[in-house]
Structure 1
Amino acid sequence: MVSGDRAMPSTDEAPKAPQNSADNLLIKTWLHNRGENTRRAYESDVRAFLAHVGKTLPEVTAPDLQNWFDSLTGADATRRRKLMAVKSLLSYGAAMEMLPRDVGPAVRVPKMRDSLHERILTQEQVRNLIDGETDPRRRTMLRVLYATGLRISELCAVRWKDLKRRQQGGVAHVFGKGGKNRTVEIPAKVWKEIVALRVDSRPEAPMVPGHDGGPLSVDAVHRSVKRAAKRAGLPEQVSAHWLRHAYASHMQDNGAPAHVVQQQLGHTSLATTTRYSHAREGAGAGKFLDL
């Protein structure tokens, strides 16, 4: 059971698409073995697309795809993600010979201006966000996110059986995005805070528990970060992923080798990691972060 720090049911649901068994089978196989968050987002995107066109996938034409994309509103990044999801499904269906043709090339994925720098918090802003949280459990949760660069889903999934004490701090064995395993260092100061929170000695106990001692939910972490950011006077767009961005940027700003940061974050490409080495001129988080 997920911790009581859970979200209320969403009222902003995607439009219902006409149900078709062949479409459902195609979508199911396309989503197979993807992460839970990815499956949920992608399925919502393609169901909304089908609801808009009012056709089955084999009936979709190039103009249908173009008209749907032109109708999308909202942030450019969101429109881009939705288009990439639908194009991926159409390409997969054609490759598996479950669709007569791939109409995806009718719409090119628009290029985006790199706005990553707009989502990098300063070290002072991060300290204010964390130190302004008076609840010890939530404060530790925020510090773990920043000091390890973990994604929300990864934080929620780590159990004590995944942790190992080291001479300086500890390590967490993480099963991350794309089904990849990696080892993440936990600085000594943060390790002590994690140990102080432990009330359940079972190996299956969560590293950072919810208020009832059970596992945290992704939504609970998201809400806690939002509240902490608001208290610190930070932009309302701040999310847990901004702490991951801050980790990557601050580590490199303070001299951490890019390949070390890459391993900690689980990036496949070093180029992804080095995008963060832009903020200012100028191993483990305990050596490079002011915690």
Structure 2
Amino acid sequence: MNWTAKLIKHRGESRIAIYFEKNPDWIARMKQQEGSRWSQTLGVWHLPDTLENRMKFQIIETPIKRPSAEGTVQIEKFRYWLLSKRYSENTIKTYTEALKSFLIFYNEKPVAEITNDDVIRYNNEYILNNNLSASYQNQIVNAIKLFFKTVLDTKIEFDKIHRPKRAKVLPNVLSKEEVKLILNAHSNIKHKMMLSLIYSCGLRCGELLALQPVHIDSKRNLVMLKNAKGKKDRITPLSPKILEMLREYFKVYQPTAYLFEGQKAGTSYDARSLQQVIKQAVQKAGISKPVTLHWLRHSYATHLLESGTDLRYIQELLGHNSSKTTEIYTHVSTKSLQQIKSPFDDL
């Protein structure tokens, strides 16, 4: 099977991205590689940048490319602007890295001279030639638009910067039986508690890790999500079964600053460690699908829909701005589909 490998920077870390057509055997092979991770954002499997992996996947090191001195200054200006607007740490890192990639491509051209044609050329000669995902291209467009609109007076015409056509990808959903296997896979109460809370409340990874003990309202059986995605607060119901599990968890770990703390007291649990928790649970459960933490959130929404919960309530519980975002779960719910009889049965 054809595959390509290249060095990438992901969340400030040097990684080796492996590109291949979707194939169960290759996905299984990737999952077996030590330190392998799936990036939902980039749409690619990636591995630690080690000498062993470079040799295994035939990586030839190329000279490091950097933006021009002017470009470096402009990237810093953009970063400070994002900070002043209180964008999240992840968004700041994503946008500045996206802008850096773009300005490296034009490191010999004055930034103020960049035009719409240059954006099109970058898309064709860099993004498409390197088989980078449409979601990554969208990030580049977002970063370019925001930078040239807010930091620089330029020849860019914002309305003429086209976005890639968004792929209509259905969310990945697990059956209730699969969810149960994953949640029961760990004997460690902290690991089990984190995964159970993500599924039972439909949380994002960052929302779970930002939780503090005071955000659990045991009197009203609610979880308070403060400053969640989009700088919005919201509440979500807390299952009585989860509350009992939380009480047992509190007895053992006695968290203070964060509900789930790292090795150092008072610090939040590490996001990468949490990714390993789900990966190990999936392996222990004997499930071959490339399950991520977000699959639990998708499964929560779909299972709510299948149990008869109104779509408007699900939208509120997930913190979606638009009902169209939530409506995608109607396409993966099997409640109505299972009632349809195939004409094959009448042959």
Question: What TM-score does the superposition give when structure 1 sets the normalisation length?
Answer: 0.80
2:228 to 155, 161, 176: 176
Which residue number corresponds to residue 77 of structure 2? 25
Q: Percent identity?
A: 21
For the residue of structure 2 that corresponds to 1:178, the secondary structure is coil
Q: Secondary structure at the match of 1:11?
A: strand
- Whole-Å Cα distance in 2 between the matches of residues 103 and 231 of structure 1? 52
Taking the aligned partners of 2:130 and 2:245, their CA distance within structure 1 comes to 38
Q: Which residue of 2 is the match for residue 287 of structure 1?
A: none
Separation in 1 of the partners of 2:323 and 2:302? 14
2:97 to 44, 54, 60: 44
Q: How far 1:216 moved relative to its partner?
A: 0.7
Aligned residues: 271
Equivalences for 1:119-130 in 2 at 5 Å?
119-130=172-183
Contact 1:122–1:246 at 8 Å: present in 2 too?
yes
Looking at structure 2, the residues matched to 151 and 271 of structure 1 have their Cα atoms a distance apart, in angstroms, of 19
Letter paired with 1:123: K
AA partner of residue 11 (structure 1)? S
Q: Which moved more, 1:259-268 or 1:8-17?
A: 8-17
Counterpart AA for 1:251: L
Q: Equivalent residue for 2:121?
A: 67
Question: What is residue 46 of structure 2 aligned with on the other side?
Answer: none
- AA at the equivalent of 1:12: R
Paired amino acid for 1:177: K
Return the match for 1:188 from 237, 240, 244.
Answer: 240
The one-letter amino acid paired with 1:132 is: A
**DSSP 3-state at the match of 2:197:** helix
Question: Does the 8 Å CA contact 2:75/2:99 hold for their aligned counterparts?
Answer: no
Which structure 2 residue ranges, 5 or more long, are not aligned? 1-10, 17-63, 337-347
In our comparison, the structure showing a higher alpha carbon Rg is 2
Kindly indicate whether residue 116 of structure 2 is the aligned counterpart of residue 113 of structure 1: no
Cα 1:229–1:56 change in 2 (3 A) is: farther
SS in 1 for 2:329: coil
Q: What code does the residue aligned with 2:276 have?
A: R
Following superposition of structure 1 onto structure 2, how do residues 247-286 of structure 1 map, counting pairs within 5 Å?
247-278=300-331, 279-282=333-336
The answer to whether the 8 A contact 1:121-1:246 is kept is yes
1:159 aligns with 2:209: no
Shift of 1:112: 3.1
Output one character per residue of 1:43-93: Cα deviation in whole Å (capped at 9) or x when no partner: 2222122122224532323343223222226998x6323333332333334
Change (3 A) 1:137 1:255: same
How many Å separate the matches in 1 of 2:92 and 2:245?
Answer: 33
| 3-state secondary structure, aligned to 1:227 | helix
**Which of 1 and 2 has higher RCO (CA within 8 Å, sep 6+)?**
1
1-side partners of 2:239 and 2:249: how far apart?
16
| Residue 97 of structure 1: how far off its partner (Å) | 6.9
Single out whichever of 205-214 and 155-164 deviates more from structure 2: 205-214
Work out the CA distance in 1 between the residues paired with 2:235 and 2:302. 20
Q: Which moved more, 1:10-19 or 1:224-233?
A: 10-19
Secondary structure of 1:275 counterpart: helix
Q: Tell me: CA distance 1:209–1:91, structure 2 relative to 1, closer, same or farther (3 Å).
A: closer
How far off its partner does 1:133 sit?
1.9
Matched residue SS, 1:220: helix
Mapped partners of 2:189, 2:254: distance in 1:
19
Tell me what 1:206 maps to.
Answer: 258
